[in-house]
Amino acid sequence: MATKHEQILKYIENLAVGEKISVRKIAKNLSVSEGTAYRAIKDAEIIGFVSTIKRVGTLRIERKQKDSIEKLTFAEIVNMIDGQVLGGRAGLYKSLNKFVIGAMTVEAMERYTDAGNLLIVGNRVSAHELALKRGAAVLITGGFDTDDEVKQLADEKELPILSTSYDTFTVATMINRAIYDQLIKKEVVFVEDILTPLDTTAFLSTADKVADWHKMEEETGHSRFPVVNRAMRLTGMVTSKDILDKNPSISIERVMTKNPLTVGPKMSVASVAHMMIWESIEVIPVVKDDLTLIGIVSRQDILKSMQMIQKQPQVGETIDDTIANQLSEKADTGVEADYEFKVSPQMTNSLGTLSYGVFTQVVCEVVQQKLFSMKKRNVAIENVTMYFLKPVQMDATIVIKPRILEMGRKAGKLDVELYLEGILTGKAIVACQMMER
């Protein structure tokens, strides 16, 4: 029989998308305590069934698929523009494809407004109605309202009609920036995207014996397993080293490694890769905030995801990408490749000279490119010692010379020198580690 918690989650899952949810309402309808209802709503939010929007409330939403491209929703736009929802609340979690600025006649607007669009327009009721009929949402700027008939149409079609006090130019700039940021975000791979889920994870319980470890090793071919208690909360990790020469009847709880390193589902794969390199671990458990086990991530999972990322086309440009784009390999430099970097105005500090942060990133990027050329693909920068000797002016072109000091299978050290017109202007010693299979 399902627990009250599971019954509430099932109840929420069966609600219509866009329906408002409250602790009091669920407690009353299902005859549970408000505390039980609150905890279930919070879990439903983690799962992706509901979301709380400022000035709107907690709503049942359409659960996003993990492999889908992240897009802006109309609900996110409400928060961004400090807006109000005038109608069509049930469509808040529909995705925005593009926005159209309604600075034209209604007849001309018809050609540019399609389903999934957001029409940004002022106090023009005929334009509001046209957009909704064509399957587009509406954002009214200048703090204006619209007719009741238009609000009713928005409710019928489940298309949001929003209002904001900002002007059209400001709103368009904000949304454009958000769309650009989403393109960057979708390139970031998180633990939840690559983890081995709990239903396919091999694990042991604190009540198991060493003999159970041997049995699981034969069944799975693996030797590292998380250990959980009756509540499915992680209590340790057990490996072949832990059970070496141990009596098969001894409890797993007595031989396991307690308080192991863990990661959360929202941690980036890059962070986990560094952790696994520095701590020399092969498998790491993935847990919720209360240490409930939800899966594992292995070194092989990390390597596969990093190779996948390298093959993806760059869509959104981060600050690091901007710096990398200014870096190029210098032609005709002999055996050891040198690199050139042009200092653009946005890479300078308030004095007009090269920023320390950009200087550091340039050094790290050169090291990454140098090691990549040596077939060292998965590199973690461990330590950077900087010597910024002389200021570098904007629009200057500096030459960077990386030189290998030490290089082993798992670690290396490089000396990096920066020259401006043949004069040494900066120097760095970089220590790094490589993740291998």
**pLDDT (tens digit per residue) in 28-78:** 888 888 888 888 888 787 667 777 765 567 777 665 444 433 567 888 888
Average pLDDT, the chain: 82
Residue entry with tokens 């990661």: 263
> Can you tell me the distance from the alpha carbon of 239 to that of 224, in angstroms, rounded to the nearest whole number?
4
- pLDDT above 80 for 196: yes
Q: Report the DSSP pairing between strands 161-163 and 137-140.
A: parallel
> Can you tell me the distance from the alpha carbon of 104 to that of 123, in angstroms, rounded to the nearest whole number?
13
> Can you tell me the distance from the alpha carbon of 338 to that of 403, in angstroms, rounded to the nearest whole number?
9
Of residues 15 and 52, more confidently modeled: 15
The model's confidence at residue 14, banded by pLDDT at 50, 70 and 90, is confident
Sequence-separated (6 or more) residues with CB below 8 Å from residue 370: 337, 402, 404, 414
Share of the chain above pLDDT 90, in %: 27
**pTM tops 0.85, yes or no:** no
The model's confidence at residue 15, banded by pLDDT at 50, 70 and 90, is confident
Sequence-separated (6 or more) residues with CB below 8 Å from residue 426: 359, 386, 387, 388, 389, 390, 392, 417, 418
Of residues 393 and 43, more confidently modeled: 393
**Of 77, 119, 81, 114, nearest in space to 94 by CA:** 77
Domains annotated on the chain, with CATH: 4-60 (1.10.10.10), 74-187 (3.40.1390.20), 192-307 (3.10.580.10), 319-434 (3.10.129.10)
**Of 114, 112, 140, 136, nearest in space to 125 by CA:** 140
- pLDDT above 60 for 315: no
